[in-house]
Structure 1
Amino acid sequence: MPQPAIPEDNLQDPGLETAMAGLTAAMADPSRIRILCALMDGRAWTATELSVVAEVAASTASAHLAKLLSRGLIGCVTQGRHRYYRLAGAEVASLLESIMGVAARQAATPVSRTPGRLRQMRTCYDHLAGSVAVAMYQSMLDAGWLVADGSRLTDSGLRQFTALGIATDHQTRRKPCCACLDWSERRFHLGGAAGAALLCACEQKGWITRVAGYREVTITPAGRRGLQRAFAIQIAG
């Protein structure tokens, strides 16, 4: 009996499969994961700094960085005699955040192992994450600042962002907004260009300060008042 034809849409692309296998293999090492997680703060790091984070020798760190570079997970910028490494872009950061969420579900005690300050607020590449950022996102949805799927600001949201001094870039080629899954809260926070603009504005207003070399973000007293007033949320602590 002849076998039914396989629909063309179901044919697998060997090239894509190979690329996916290579990408996952590049991340399949605890030291390389430490490097990628460090770069989630959105800033550029030297190889020496990343070797300390990864707890490996400088030569070993160089080999790990070469592997990550070859798979397009990170980029390198040269300034004078120094080379700086950073994540290749927001898509890579979003991928890592999603992996963290899946991995956290497999941990024995995922919540208790997350430092309290890091869980409250941190950076996710170029936007804010953590319980406060999740509350801000939900507040924006409830107030009609965002469309239901979080893919863009509404007219009301644009007006509110302007009133808060949050400058949105209408010329950017990246997504204007996106709902980014928060790995510690298992709910969404604001990503995309609007999320990056929000982080920038919070820094400029002095509402938050970033801890050098870490993803942790500290909310200042002025920031606590400002965020609670602007987003109608309560911030513990």
Structure 2
Amino acid sequence: MVTTVSVAQIGALLGDPARAAMLQALMDGRALTASELAQVAGIAPQTASGHLAQLAAASLVTMSKQGRHRYHRLATPQVARLLENLMLVASDAVRMKPRVGPRDARLRLARTCYDHMAGWLGVSLADTLAARGWIEITDDAALVTPEGLQGLAALEIDAEASRTGGRRATLLCRPCLDWSERRPHLAGRLGTALCMHCLKQGWVRQQSGSRALDITPAGWRALRDEFDIRRPNVST
């Protein structure tokens, strides 16, 4: 049962700058060690371990052991969505410049939001699929149409193949309000499938140590040919 106390506890955990920095570092879906997260947060590894223990106790992160190393990742896509929405609120609350979202143009162009794509590219893909009638999307809900399943299958994108067992199945398609574009991009199994397809095809590349995605020359051609998405004329 959700209580005001439990909500306040989550808020207190997210309110610490070091913990917030570590959680943001995990938003690209990677698993990182306590030492790596300590470096991101600018704190000692022992301090980071204490913070991570608190985050794990609140089911915000999970830990897995491989050899001598312990790796941490966000516990669920819902945690990533919470963080993205907090960034959205924070950028409205303290707006130093008219530009919204991240200052880094690469992050505004394309980035990962946990297991799916965000930024201008993520929103453009959602717009294209909606214009084709492959999805129906509002600020609150989304669904994939039968025509969409056929069209995606023709592009060798199988959204239903990313269904996971164990916990409750992830929604096939869900809107996620974009931090920088302020319009929905796609989450859920379809969002994951699109992101994995673009990475596998070499259309985008993950930047080292960043959530930003580089769109390759082959990617720009494929986005134009397959989705009618063209390189923006101005800085995104």
Q: Which amino acid aligns with 1:61?
A: A
Note the C-alpha offset of 1:229.
Answer: 1.9
Query: What pairs with 1:150-229 in structure 2 (closer than 5 Å)?
Result: 151-169=142-160, 171-172=163-164, 173-229=169-225
User: What whole-Å deviation, never above 9, does each CA across 1:21-61 have from its counterpart, x for those lacking one?
Assistant: 11111111111111010000001000010001001111111
**Aligned partners of 2:49 and 2:83: how far apart in 1?**
21
Counting matched residue pairs gives: 224
Let me know the Cα RMSD of the aligned residues: 1.6
**Aligned partners of 2:201 and 2:156: how far apart in 1?**
9
Q: Percent identity?
A: 43
**Aligned partners of 1:191 and 1:110: how far apart in 2?**
27
Note the C-alpha offset of 1:236.
Answer: 2.5
What's the counterpart of residue 61 of structure 2? 74
Choose from 96, 111, 119 the match for 1:108.
96
Q: Which amino acid aligns with 1:114?
A: R
**Given the superposition, is the C-alpha separation of residues 205 and 148 from structure 1 closer, same or farther in structure 2, using an over 3 Å criterion?**
same
Query: What pairs with 1:121-136 in structure 2 (closer than 5 Å)?
Result: 121-136=110-125
Asked if 1:233 is matched to 2:229, the reply is yes
Note the C-alpha offset of 1:234.
Answer: 1.8
Q: Which amino acid aligns with 2:4?
A: E
**Given the superposition, is the C-alpha separation of residues 21 and 118 from structure 1 closer, same or farther in structure 2, using an over 3 Å criterion?**
same
What's the counterpart of residue 36 of structure 2? 49
**Aligned partners of 2:183 and 2:120: how far apart in 1?**
9
Structure 1: gaps spanning 5 or more residues: 1-12
Structure 2: gaps spanning 5 or more residues: none
Structure 1 counterpart SS, 2:159: coil
Equivalent residues of 1:44, 1:85 under 8 A apart: yes
Structure 2 counterpart SS, 1:147: strand
Equivalent residues of 2:137, 2:175 under 8 A apart: no
**Aligned partners of 1:159 and 1:207: how far apart in 2?**
22
Note the C-alpha offset of 1:110.
Answer: 6.1
Equivalent residues of 1:104, 1:110 under 8 A apart: no
Choose from 118, 133, 139 the match for 2:107.
118
